[in-house]
Structure 1
Amino acid sequence: MITRLQYFNCVVETGSISEASRLFDIQPSSISRQLVALESELGVRLLNRTTRSVGLTEAGQTFYRYSQRVVAELEEAKKAVNDLQESPRGHLKVSMTVGFGECVVLPLLTKFRQQYPEINVELELTERVVDFVDENIDIAIRSGRLPDSNLIAKRLADNNFLLCASPEYLEGKEALKSPTQLIDFDCIRYGYAGWRDWFLMEDDVPTRLTINPNLTINTVNGQKQLVLNHAGLALLPLWAVHDELRNGTLIQVLPDFVFSPYDVMSATYALYLKRELVSPKIRVFIDFISLHIDG
């Protein structure tokens, strides 16, 4: 229907089927057939045709006014879609865990918005699995094992987990020299099901550690605050504690050992739906976080 409208408009504006066919680079007979089909669909004659000219009927004049608007709106729609593909803009909904959002993304948002002012960001901080289609999610940032799905996963960073404590908590206690000593220390466990255990990784081979989880909490920031308040040791991602390690309010315990809350070494990923063309707003957000993530 749209193609027929474009042919019709061109014939009206050029006053000639042959000229319209030249502009569209098709045979005049093809345009004539499309015009006849359009008139048949509408049930009225739109054009008076002679061997020398083409003129509008009264019905054709009325129809042409609307046809102009329809084709113009279509061109505007095409331009808007093309602009979205060329320039990062529009609404961007991103889901991520509470800890990653609070520790990594929120401090970066002002800089991101300054760089991409035409992108409106909506963040959803949650530990649950989200439905991309039903919830209109553009990107989900998740760590650990990824479920098999129809999503594209872009690796943002390896997950480096450090055993941390405050200097005040360790003061006066027996020096920690081996992971086997952890049973004698207060351990603060993350409450999410996938992170309940602590593993010692040796050549990528996991050994489950025996710990004394006297406190369990379901956010990374909550874990960190408890450690800062001298409540015990916690296994924390580097991206959550790099500032505290630099300023000395937290210290890394047993730095010669590699720890993980998973029985495999893991990473943080940006997930998005498979599609032929990735929207620029999705691409630039993922690239920005990947560039600025620390640990």
Structure 2
Amino acid sequence: MEKFRTFITVANERGFSNAAIKLNISKATVSRHIREIEAEYGARLFNRTTRQVSLNEQGEIFYQYSLQCIELYENVHNRLSLSKNQISGRLKVGIPLSLIETYFIHKIPEFLQLYPEINLDIIHGHHTQYIHQNNFDIVIDDRILGDIDFYATELAQWKYVLCATPNYLKNSKKLKTPNDILNHQCIDHTGNLLKDWKFIFDNQLSEIFIDPKISLNNSFSVKEFVLNHFGLAYLPSYILHEEIKSGRLISLLESYLPMKYKIHALYTRKRSEFKKIDAFLKFLEDICADISLVQN
């Protein structure tokens, strides 16, 4: 676009020197731009005299098209800038089902009331590996991240909790160490392919390999079986907060539980450059600041 602007300015100012002053560039740069345009299009565009320059017939044609090109460029530039700076448009967000059901689903209407010009597409599940392929604006992941080629914001921390109901514990064998789990009925998530529950044992991270009585592909279904006094489960703390707080479930072997995990918001574009992305990230940060995702 710079060369088109130079050409239009030379035509309007009827001279290279005046155009250079107008554009705040050197006369040599103006001359170079015009030479390159004429060479590229294979035509002389100006009538030149010692005192001034004026457009010839081909120059008049090129001038009109140059004005249209500049106008189109500025319209596109302004539209894209407006899109980046306005809190409006469509956001595609991937959120694990356990998180959306536990916390976010009750808060999202508040976000849409704050920003009525935003439309949300929320897709349940873990979508980190598809963030580019499926054009997600934001993906939330509660797992350990490997090497990533996009931006990440930590939202909260969580840990696994071994839990059961008071009624189940009253009628079952004592549970003092992780090894005692093998004497109990276990409920597991089908996503736990190795069937291992991790604990800190003798100052080392150890695994207890279980033989679950039943496995389900939904953490909430696992929790329902636990609440029905069916056995032990090893679940994320963020889906057990209310049940443990009320006493319906008891957190077990807390001194053996392993490290904390992190919940991240992942996105491919700088949040500072896209206000709608930044607005949703701030909304997520506010939610996670108000809730206790880790059972202390």
With structure 1 as the length reference, what TM-score do the two structures score? 0.80
Question: Retained in 1: the 8 A contact 2:168–2:230?
Answer: no
In 2 relative to 1, CA 80–98 (structure 1 residues): closer, same or farther, beyond 3 Å?
same
Counterpart for residue 289 of structure 1: 284
Please give the secondary structure, in 2, of the residue aligned with 1:137: coil
Unpaired segments ≥5 residues, structure 1 = none
Q: Classify 1:81/1:187 alpha carbon distance in 2 versus 1 (closer, same or farther; 3 Å).
A: same
- Equivalent AA in structure 2 for residue 269 of structure 1: H
Residue in 1 that maps onto 2:164: 165
Question: What letter is aligned with 2:267?
Answer: Y
In the alignment, is residue 18 of structure 1 matched against residue 26 of structure 2? no
TM-superposition CA deviations, 1:130-164 (whole Å, max 9, x none): 23332223333223332223344432222222233
Give the whole-Å Cα distance in 1 for the aligned partners of 2:203 and 2:47. Answer: 81
1:254 aligns with 2:249: no
Deviations 1:231-273 (A, max 9, x none): 333222222232344455x32232743535xxx5422222334
Tell me which of 265, 273, 279 is aligned to 1:270: 265
Residue-by-residue CA offset, 1:54-100 (whole Å, 9 max, x unaligned): 43333333322221121122223333444455444444333333322
Paired with 2:191 and 2:82, the residues of 1 have a C-alpha distance of 41
Letter in structure 2 aligned against 1:254: L
Contact conserved, 1:185 with 1:212, CA < 8 A, in 2? no
Structure 2's unaligned 5+ residue stretches are: none
When the two chains are superposed, the root-mean-square deviation of aligned CA atoms in Å is 3.3
Is the 8 Å Cα contact of residues 140 and 263 (structure 2) preserved in structure 1? Answer: yes
Summarize the Cα distance change of 1:132–1:73 in structure 2 as closer, same or farther, 3 Å threshold. Answer: same
Stretch of structure 1 that moved more, 21-30 or 92-101: 92-101
2:280 maps to a residue whose letter is F
Secondary structure (helix, strand or coil) at the match of 2:130 reads: coil
Identify the residue that residue 207 of structure 1 maps to in structure 2: 206
% same residue: 28
Q: Is the 8 A contact 2:271 2:278 kept in 1?
A: no
Contact 1:187/1:211 (<8 A) preserved: yes
TM-score between both structures, scaled by the size of structure 2: 0.79
Closer, same or farther: CA 150–119 of 1 in aligned 2, 3 Å: same
Distance 1:203 1:69, change over 3 A: farther
The residue number in structure 2 matching 1:150 is 149
Native 8 Å contact 1:176 1:253 kept in 2: no
